[in-house]
Amino acid sequence: MTYIGPLDLKKKAAIIAVILEKPLETSKKAAEIGADILEIRLDLLGIRDRDTATETIRKVKSETGLPVIITNRSYIEGGKWDGQEAERIGLIKDLLTLRDGPDAVDIELSIDEDERDKAVESAKNNGKTVIISSHDFSKTPSFTEMKATIEDAFIAGADIAKLAVMPQSMKNVMDLLRVTLDFGGAGRAICTIAMGDLGKHTRVIAPFYGSVLTYASVENTILTPPGQLPVDKLKKIMELLE
């Protein structure tokens, strides 16, 4: 079983609303239009200190009743954190110790192994779900390479291994879905995303191949990742296909 908060992701894939700005206002709207989980993007919100982060997370959880994932994304993986790496990981570790804090954390596979292990250890010690993610914004690696990346994420301690790629062809998309089916069909908790317009439909169908999470937007802004669908539209399409 794989949970984020009270949600059993093996029973039903969850729609995650990505909170990029105005955290309390946007989170309340996300809850209203059907999000299952909120991802608080500390780097995009410009949150740099524990007190602000703690207050934000507690208010969001109190007002919405939804589980929260914290993400403090590095530049190399498409994030906007502009401080020291030790400070980035330190903030994550601090927040994971909060009893009424985040329910899960998304940490990058690509970062320094020792720093990553510290964050994973903090999450595990405090009963938080660990998502270990890898992003390729330029291409889709080969089928074999994608499988190896996901295996590496599990070896690193992932409860959920997340892989996002940029397809250049429909074959790339099909290869990603094959990877999804291989792991999901074996009962392993993964999240897969084909980014951009070419992969937009994977936001809807990847859960039917075994992806336990899919990401959606609350409002369309310049920060919204390419190919990400609005929460309410994504939810409606998925319900039609169930």
Arithmetic mean of pLDDT over the chain = 94
Rounded to 10°, the helix 202-209/231-241 angle is 40
> pTM above the 0.85 mark?
yes
Looking at residue 222, its pLDDT comes to 65
- Structural domains in the chain plus CATH codes: 8-236 (3.20.20.70)
- The one catalytic residue in 61, 162, 201, 233 is 162
201 is catalytic: no
Both tokens assigned to 85? 């790496």
Q: In this model, does residue 81 exceed pLDDT 90?
A: no
Q: In this model, does residue 206 exceed pLDDT 70?
A: yes
Question: Confidence class of residue 63 from pLDDT cuts 50, 70 and 90?
Answer: very high
Question: Confidence class of residue 78 from pLDDT cuts 50, 70 and 90?
Answer: confident
Question: Confidence class of residue 227 from pLDDT cuts 50, 70 and 90?
Answer: confident
Q: In this model, does residue 204 exceed pLDDT 90?
A: yes
Q: In this model, does residue 58 exceed pLDDT 80?
A: yes
135 is catalytic: yes
- The one catalytic residue in 29, 61, 135, 235 is 135
Looking at residue 134, its pLDDT comes to 96
